[in-house]
Chain A
């Protein structure tokens, strides 16, 4: 009797694990308790011991595979044992890892049953009462998990209600056959069977108007749609969190005053506080590569230069032009370049190429008096720094309370790409740099 080894479920919230390494290959003999393979969740890693002694008859996965919990990984047994019943459904067609160990496995027979269930669910051929279907559409209940209790295996209202009560729902984006995005083609928008197989409509265009309400419908301009899409994607797909801090801006303000006073004489432009923050970021960021990076699914892309995005409020909406290789620019260059791209963005004449390619972004709401906020990351970047306003704060100096101008900083980072401590370290270094801007300039 062959023994199946599945991907264990490590905790209720874990849906799948990644196999990091196989210690054995097909044909190897193992003792009970020997480590078969290693795998990890997003939080920790584990080793899977052999539940029984025997020969590895088949391995259904490869290293690096993301395997849903409770699905089959490998089979241990004796030569010639029938393992067909263990072949996972996704392996049914190709079955790449099944080797000579089980050559005569009649896999084909197992396939139709599995597929039939899957197809039936997707094409809407399962029996469900119209009322239950309507409720499922309203509540996004996951019908695939429904246990039919109606006559002849029909899913009825109470079955869907149970799903809802148990929290078994699917997000609208993830829904398939029976999703609410299905546009009814029947009379009065009735969803008929054919609709379930029809391609999903892009957007539900119909706006059901409340009869008495007064309002104006204005079509969204494209840029708003892009912002909406990008912001929504950012918040819905990333693990964002924000750290807030502030620094003593006494020296920075003094320096800025002297720069301003001597600007004409030195032939430099109007250096703003924001320019100075951009400069500091461009210098500190390279020490924190996880924040000067793109998070691309399973890969991190680290940039060797700081391509600094500058968030600009324009009449058309938010735009983020990029100062490429800001780490190579002087403060004056950063200041001038920033003015050029900000003006171009506000006038709508910006070169679209400059709106891409940023590796990190700075956004400033300080001029609007915002003391602290949660900037939203511009994906696939991993961080964004919000610059807040300057407030008076008190600190103890030599046993006395003295006030000082404190400028706030709000760093949002993607927890998928880095953890809290590295992000905090970046902030800490940035604070030091800003508080000691003269040292930074001389560096």
Chain B
């Protein structure tokens, strides 16, 4: 919706046709003679070796899974093993073209890609570089094993191959000496120093993450391209298609860039589909999809058709040919690109796959076309290598693999994490808990004007930072510093302080965010750091995850908290988990802003704090005052952990009512986890979550004036983490607690806290910890909301009915146990 682009009704209805270019299908046809001009004998043999190593690695795992032994060494591996026997040429061909600045993301079936890109990186780096990488990694924990227990004949590259195979296998076997301390496992193994980014057990989940990595390269002008690997089955997933679109959006080439000062061009991302014909057992071509060929999808996303192409994934040279051409395009700013790499998974989906969905004949036919066998024949026939050379190579690989396996299953050399001896081993990596002002302090932030000239900054300067003036009169709306200003201040500061910060979401830029938090920010922040995203919640959050994995910081926004569901996997499985799954190697500085609505009915009014708080690895906050909004946003943006930042549409326009000195100017932090006593009292504690604070204050006033009951009001502010000490102290004093929030009462955060408080304060309680939440209904229309969201009189009624009857009080809401039982019976 930029004003610079005119939507012309005179042209919108013009007649014509959409033209498509031909999409190449397996057009590679170079002869060996031609190829010999490109590759040396070493190159040919290395390509072969790498494929053979992958095949042996996967064969070993298959043997372990199906026979509990490999090459006479017994072992039982209860964990997963999604093998890629048959897909080696595709992986090696792709990796051949990549260096360590090219980041690749993969799937649950990515052992082959890890080994291929690892081997390619080892080849491309110097001995010193490789050795340094190994020495630095996890304090040399992986290196010391292979250095001590395997003989590499003094050859650093051979040592590095041992390192790669051992690190990956130890990870698959959940050993502490694995690449991710055994916390990632088979489906998530990765090794960042080689540009091997996390692989993902959720089908297609790597696509938005890879998209974010591409954003990082593009917005921060970093070298290299991004490879987003997935299978053909994943193309049925929304996040993958969202990512295709997000990467293709017009603004990147048409609006991004600053007077030629920064590199223009599309996102440097190659969506590489290893098309093995099956999504588990579902046959994409002919059964579950309608595209006939994956490459056709490219035509749907941009006029360049994503430079889509279908290639023969059984021929490593054809793959190298295609990937190297795509890489060239991407580096020239013409991304994104799409490759449909045709291959076949001879192994089952997993070793328990009995192939009920395909015939033995089909498998045999593909085995006969084995890419490794075919390539060997090509080398022998082309007199590049002899049968003996190849046989010797296989012998060496088997011997090496056996040795690696013996090391990886040795409990003394490769122990598992001992959570009895180190009970905090996982606790200590759930959050990184760092304070990092700038993710790239040495670089200056790209901005369009000095901060003091930013129109919003100027506007806020003239505002009054309290809700009432010196005489106690309410400040006019126009002059009052409100919650949106409080959110804006730390965000604009961070844009100037941290060059990697980017902010995006739906309607973030020109609109200023649906609720005006980013109002008048457009003038100061360039497009590539602050933009409107497509309505693609999965891609919004998923890309932020990828952006953070690469070392950037992102604020993304989902507008309504109700849209959390649209980005469920990205929030709950990606954003929340990667710090710990990487054994603390990755940081995840993401602030995900979500806003709790009202007035807009059932799908725009929900407080979903409980969903987020339930998932380990997320920090969750919900400020209710301008001071808290500013302080918590500052902490969120300074931190290195993923934060779901809840806001409430009821109170964006509220001024500061509690802090007499007004919202502090400049850098101002409120540490996460500390609830705040908003009003002191002695008879009953009211713990509030979010905007319900103001209704609790109303209740407190009535309690005080009408019943002589003095209520202490504590605003939770943070949900995860949460320090109970202040609440416990208060309950020791009052003996009574009511927890209030706008979330539906069942399984709400209030319920969880009430249960914890009961456990910890049992002897001090004069009645049960009572929860007052919204009804377990849909949110009705605005006019009926008072029957749905907790109101002041609900709090008083709950106190009267469940804790301390108030003389003369006649409740109007039913908080009796009988009613509760009846409602529960009905699922209400």
Contacts and interface: CB of A to CB of B under 8 A. Distances in A.
With most chain B CB atoms within 10 A of its CB, the pick from A129, A149, A154, A156 is A129
Given A134-B764, A151-B801, A157-B766, 17 more contacts: A129-B765, A129-B766, A130-B763, A130-B765, A130-B766, A131-B735, A131-B763, A131-B764, A132-B766, A150-B766, A150-B805, A151-B767, A151-B802, A151-B803, A151-B805, A152-B817, A158-B804
A307 to B, nearest CB: 54
Given A129-B735, A150-B767, A156-B767, A190 B804 contact: no
Interface in B769-806: 801-805
Interface in B726-784: 735, 762-767
- List the 9 shortest-distance A-B pairs measured between CB atoms, nearest first: A131-B766, A131-B735, A157-B766, A129-B766, A130-B763, A156-B766, A131-B764, A130-B765, A157-B735
Contacts of A130: 762-766
Contacts of A152: 817
A154 B805 CA distance: 11
Interface string A139-178: 0000000000111101011100000000000000000000
Interface string B710-735: 00000000000000000000000001
15 contacts: A129-B735, A129-B767, A134-B763, A149-B804, A150-B803, A150-B804, A150-B805, A151-B801, A151-B803, A156-B766, A156-B767, A156-B804, A157-B766, A158-B804, A190-B763
Contacts of A131: 735, 763-766
A152 B763 CA distance: 19
A134 B762 CA distance: 11
A161 to B, nearest CB: 10
A127 to B, nearest CB: 11
Given A132-B766, A134-B763, A156-B767, A149 B805 contact: yes
Contacts of A156: 766-767, 803-804
Interface string B796-828: 000001111100000000000100000000000
A154 B801 CA distance: 12
Nearest to B767: A129
A429 B239 CA distance: 113
A157 B765 CA distance: 9
Interface in A276-335: none
With most chain A CB atoms within 10 A of its CB, the pick from B763, B803, B817 is B763
A154 B767 contact: yes
Interface in A249-292: none
What bracket does the count of chain A residues touching chain B fall in? 10 to 19
Nearest to A132: B766
Contacts of A149: 804-805
B531 to A, nearest CB: 56
A129 B765 CA distance: 7
Interface string A338-375: 00000000000000000000000000000000000000
A179 B85 CA distance: 75
Contacts of B803: 150-151, 156
A130 B735 CA distance: 9
A131 B735 CA distance: 7
Nearest to B815: A151
B98 to A, nearest CB: 58
A149 B801 CA distance: 11
A231 B52 CA distance: 97
A37 to B, nearest CB: 45
A64 B767 CA distance: 48
B822 to A, nearest CB: 17
A179 B464 CA distance: 60
Interface in B603-656: none
Contacts of B735: 129, 131, 157
Contacts of A129: 735, 765-767
Contacts of B817: 152
A132 B764 CA distance: 8
Nearest to B762: A130
A151 to B, nearest CB: 6
Nearest to A128: B766
B817 to A, nearest CB: 8
B530 to A, nearest CB: 54
Contacts of B802: 151
Nearest to B800: A151
Contacts of B763: 130-131, 134, 190
A150 B767 CA distance: 8
B615 to A, nearest CB: 30
A132 B735 CA distance: 9
A293 B805 CA distance: 59
Contacts of B805: 149-151
Nearest to B763: A130
A134 B802 CA distance: 20
Nearest to A189: B763
Interface string A117-132: 0000000000001111
A146 to B, nearest CB: 13
B819 to A, nearest CB: 13
B767 to A, nearest CB: 6
A154 B802 CA distance: 10
A154 B735 CA distance: 14
Interface in A32-52: none
A149 B805 CA distance: 7
A184 to B, nearest CB: 9
Contacts of A134: 763-764
Interface in A58-74: none
A101 to B, nearest CB: 47
A223 B587 CA distance: 72
Contacts of B767: 129, 150-151, 154, 156
Contacts of B764: 130-131, 134
A131 B758 CA distance: 12
Contacts of B801: 151
A152 B801 CA distance: 9
Contacts of A151: 767, 801-803, 805
Contacts of A132: 766
A296 B804 CA distance: 50
A97 B762 CA distance: 50
Contacts of A190: 762-763
Contacts of A150: 766-767, 803-805
With most chain A CB atoms within 10 A of its CB, the pick from B766, B802, B805 is B766
With most chain B CB atoms within 10 A of its CB, the pick from A130, A131, A158 is A131
A149 B735 CA distance: 15
A157 to B, nearest CB: 4
Nearest to A184: B763
B804 to A, nearest CB: 6
With most chain B CB atoms within 10 A of its CB, the pick from A134, A149, A151, A156 is A151
A132 B762 CA distance: 11
A198 B764 CA distance: 23
Nearest to B802: A151
A150 to B, nearest CB: 7
A343 to B, nearest CB: 57
A150 B803 CA distance: 7
A129 B764 CA distance: 9
B796 to A, nearest CB: 14
B633 to A, nearest CB: 39
A197 B803 CA distance: 27
A346 B76 CA distance: 84
A32 B739 CA distance: 65
B764 to A, nearest CB: 5
A134 B764 CA distance: 8
A435 B647 CA distance: 98
Nearest to B732: A131
A129 B803 CA distance: 9
Nearest to A133: B763
A152 to B, nearest CB: 8
With most chain A CB atoms within 10 A of its CB, the pick from B765, B801, B817 is B765
A232 to B, nearest CB: 31
A132 B804 CA distance: 12
Contacts of B804: 149-150, 156, 158
